Amino acid sequence: MADRTSDGTAFDVSGPEKAPVIALIHGLGMNRKMWQWHVPTLAERYRVVSYDLAGHGENARPEAVLSLPVFADQLRALLDHADVAKAAIVGYSLGGMINRRFAMDHPDRISALVILNSPHERSPEAQKLVEDRAADTAAGGPAATLDASIARWFTPGFREVRPDIIALARRWILANDPEVYAQARQVLARGVVELIRPQPPITVPTLVMTTENDSGSTPAMSHGIASEIAGAETVILPHLQHMGLVEEPRLFTDPVLRFLDEILH
């Protein structure tokens, strides 16, 4: 059974009690279990907190309309509940937008920032495409764009040899409340606007990563994010698509650990 905060956020904690804390934020429509391929390695020398975003996983439907500030406040409340003064925040996709918002709103609560496969400023054409997909989701629910999403997320070879993982991702997405999922997808589509050239500036040590063939969180976007955060490092992993961190977990955990070890130890 998961632990729960007073406001109902489901979360798990693992790793040495006195170690520096890492908080993991999953992506749109997923849940904290997407980190299952990473937590064992991270928890060998860090205290790892993974949790379900508002309206996702085991959490109840939120009362507030979802937004980046709402998600950032959820993380702040979780850290308060766990009596964590400061944490390194690792966010994937939508989670990489939430942790940037958190770094802007609560800079004193963050020791380092890791942004994985997360979108940034889009061309007008790309922005319209993302907003159109969000509208399709609102009209048809999570299933409306799922086949196209799976094709964007996983490489063809992985889809062929790991149908079990593809089926798991489908179950996670289809388990979402349609209205909440549509709200979260709107945040993913429109929320980047408030993160461009962040004010106040993000000043914590930052690692930005994506994969070569992530069409929605491109290498150019990662370089753009890093260019707006002083001293930020960028890593681009070859060949993989949006869910590369599921296909090849160690290609992500190894550079994340190297970065965090330099900052936190």
CATH code for the domain of 32: 3.40.50.1820
How far is the C-alpha of 199 from the C-alpha of 11, rounded, in Å? 30
Q: Is residue 32 part of a domain?
A: yes
Range of the domain at 108: 3-122+191-264
- Three-state DSSP at 208 gives strand
Q: What is the pLDDT of residue 197?
A: 95
How many structural domains is the chain composed of? 1
CB atoms within 10 A of CB 47: 20
Is 182 inside any structural domain? no
Q: Specify if 48 maps to a domain.
A: yes
- Of the candidates 41, 40, 45, the residue with the CA atom closest to the CA atom of residue 16: 45
In a domain, 170, yes or no: no
Determine the pLDDT at residue 1.
Answer: 65
What CA–CA distances, in Å, run from 42 to 1, 98, 165?
21, 21, 21
φ, ψ of residue 200 in degrees (nearest 5)? -70, 160
What is the pLDDT, as a whole number, of residue 109?
98
Residue 118 within any structural domain of the chain:
yes
Task: Look at residue 164 and tell me if it is in a domain.
Answer: no
Q: What is the pLDDT of residues 20-67, one digit of tens each?
A: 999 999 999 999 999 999 999 999 999 999 999 999 999 988 989 999
CA–CA dist 36, 41 (Å, integer): 10
pLDDT for the residue numbered 88: 98
Output the CA torsion 97→163→48→86 (10° steps). 0
Q: 10 in a domain, yes or no?
A: yes
Which pLDDT does position 71 carry in this prediction? 97
Tell whether 150 is covered by a domain.
no
SS3 128: helix
Residues of the chain with pLDDT under 50: none
